[in-house]
Each structure stands twice: as C-alpha cells, then as structure tokens.
Amino acid sequence: MTARMWTAWMRGDVESVLSRFSRSPGVSGFGTDPTEVFDDPVRLERYTRAEFEAMGGPWPFGPAEIDAWHEGDVGWSTVRAEMLSDGSRTLRVSYVFRLERDDWRVVHQHWSVGVTNEELLGVHLPLEVLAEAVEGERPDLTGAAAPDGTVTVVFTDIEESTRLNASFGDRAWLEVLRAHNALIADATEQHGGTVVKGQGDGFMLAFPSARRALDCARRIERDVAATFDDPGSPIRVRIGVHVGEVVREWDDFFGHAVNYAARVAGAARGGEALVSSLVHELVAPTGEFTFEAPRSVEMKGIDGPQLVYALAR
C-alpha cells in the first residue's frame, strides 16, 4: 500500500493518492509547513488537491526506503526519500492505516524534512545538549569517583554526524551507530568507566582516574579505525577529557566541569582525543602519555582562550 501510494505521489496522480485516505472522522495529518495541520478528511483533501495543482506535475522525490508493519486491523509504515530539489535533505513520512472493508486506508500521515540541529536550534548537538541534560539530571557519580573525590569526564561524538547521516541514508547510518555505540560501551567497561548518558552518537563517560580515561580514549580511536576500516572511511570520533571534584563541589561539578568537558570535545578534530590543561597537568609527569604541542582555543561560555592538548597517536 505505501509503495503504491508513494508511486502516485511521484507521478503527480492526485486521485490515486486521495483514494488511499479514509473518509472517517478523525483522519489527521501534519505537513512540512507550519500551517499544514489537518484534523478532518475534507480539509486534508482540499489542501492536497491545491498542492498537486501548484506542483503541476511529478513531485521531486527520489525512490523510497519503506518499512511497514501491521497488527490486526491497524498498520503503520515509514518512508525515507531524498529530496531531488535539495539532495542534502531527506524527506521522512510516517503513515497510520486502518483496515476498512478489506482495504487499508490512511487515517494519519506526518511529513518532515531533515534539518540539521545547528540550523534548527542554533547549537551543536548532541554534546552541548547532552551536557545540559546531565546537569539537569545530576546522576550520582560517587561510585565513579577517585579516593580524592575527583571524576574524570569524557565526551565523545562522531565528527560531522549530521552530514554523514544524510550521506549514508537513515538505514545505513543506523548500522553505523549500532557498531559505534557498542564499541564505546565495551571500551568504557574494559577500562573501569561508566556510561553516564548517551544521546544519538554522543556519550558522556566517567572514570575514577585520568589515566583510565586516556587509555579508554586511545582504545576507542583504535577500535573505530578497525571497525570502519574501509579506505577513506569518514567515520572519525572526537573526544574531550576534563576532570572535576564531584564529592565536595557537587553543584560546581555539574555546572562547570561537565560543560567544560563537552566544550573540550567540541574543540577536538575527528580522530583526536583532546584534554584540558588540568588533565594534562595530572598525567604528563607520569610519562605514560605523550601529547602534541598545546593549542589555544575559544570555548562558548568560557572567558578567554583555553589551552588544550591532543593525545599523541
């Protein structure tokens, strides 16, 4: 049903599209435009006809990736297709069907166009939002603290993940995320850390020592290179590391240390583990790690340039 309906959209066949909709009260839908909110079949039909008339021909959609399910007399499906007029964006559509007189009819549809989080909200996601979420929740990290009460915080995400999602397509990108998220969780566990929170391709991790955190960072970068080992693979993880005292400075830890760690990660390049000057001071004297020359970066919400150090590969 969804495939036939999509074919009708692509060829500009309004009668075939409308024939798939139920005429029952309660039929509803949302379009990509803020004004496109429908709560009855008559208004939906009137608006759809006007759209087809304005298009004057086939709609600018590429071939669709379709998934569909049903249970009893209810079915639902999802559609993902490239916008031919703007190949950088993906059109997403979901349908809810009801079986009426032995035929499936649409009772709800929802259309959306993929827009980057930066364009929509003006901030880079997920790291800054992830840090804000952790600050709001304030999970108990005493179990991840060192004897002196400090916790080493690590943020990770995939460089340019929004662009890569559009390039790979939703289904292939989901497989990338599954492999990426599994290796993050495994590396964290192997080095005695805790996955505090994950969101999309971004993670906040906590460790009882900076040494364990940096060992884990090296393991993550190595595993990413091994897992996505195609020549020229664009999958690169950036990592930021900072340390703060959680036991005696609870409010300041979540108000500053967590956000600072997220901003260190935001300053990292793909395939790079970047540490704050405080972490560098803690581990450099041990001789276990080598670092590249320090560089000065500006961080949103932090006064003045900040020194950070890239862990040598």
Give the per-residue pLDDT at 86.
57
Contacts of 213 (CB under 8 A, 6+ apart): 152, 154, 191, 193, 205, 207, 241, 279
Residue 218 near residue 191 (C-beta atoms within 8 A):
no
Give the per-residue pLDDT at 243.
96
Give the per-residue pLDDT at 230.
80
Contacts of 21 (CB under 8 A, 6+ apart): 27, 41, 44, 45, 105, 106
- pLDDT, tens digit, 9 for 90 and up, residues 64-77: 899 999 999 999 99
Q: What is the pLDDT along the chain (313 residues), one digit of tens a residue?
A: 899 988 888 888 999 999 999 999 889 998 877 667 888 888 888 888 888 887 787 788 888 899 999 999 999 999 988 877 655 567 889 999 999 988 999 999 999 886 655 455 444 456 877 888 888 888 999 889 999 999 999 999 999 887 887 788 877 888 899 999 999 999 999 999 999 998 878 999 999 999 999 999 999 999 999 999 887 789 999 999 999 998 878 888 998 999 999 999 999 999 999 999 999 999 999 999 999 999 999 988 788 999 999 999 7
Give the per-residue pLDDT at 87.
55
**Crossing angle for the helix pair 170-190 and 161-168, nearest 10 degrees?**
130
Q: How far apart are CA 108 and CA 76, in angstroms?
A: 9
Strand partners, 101: none
Amino acid at 62: G
Structural domain spans, the chain: 2-113, 122-310
Query: CATH: 3.30.70.60, 2.40.50.90, 3.10.450.50, 3.20.20.70. Which one for 2-113?
Result: 3.10.450.50
Per-residue H/E/C for 40-101: CHHHHHHHHHHHHHHHCCCCCEEEEEEEEEEECCEEEEEEEEEECCEEEEEEEEEEEEEEEC
Q: What is the DSSP letter of 39?
A: -
| pTM higher than the cut 0.75 | no
Nearest residue to 282 via CA among 125, 126, 146: 146
Q: How far apart are CA 220 and CA 305, in angstroms?
A: 28
Q: How far apart are CA 28 and CA 18, in angstroms?
A: 13
- pLDDT, tens digit, 9 for 90 and up, residues 230-283: 877 899 999 999 999 988 788 889 989 999 999 999 999 999 999 999 999 999
Give the per-residue pLDDT at 107.
95
Instruction: Report the CATH superfamily, name and number, of domain 122-310.
Output: Nucleotide cyclase, GGDEF domain (3.30.70.1230)
Nearest residue to 140 via CA among 185, 206, 201: 206
Q: How far apart are CA 311 and CA 290, in angstroms?
A: 6
Helix, strand or coil, per DSSP, at residue 296:
strand
- Fold: same for 2-113 and 122-310: no
Give the per-residue pLDDT at 293.
95
Q: Which two tokens stand for residue 182?
A: 């599994």
Give the per-residue pLDDT at 233.
82
Q: How far apart are CA 31 and CA 29, in angstroms?
A: 7
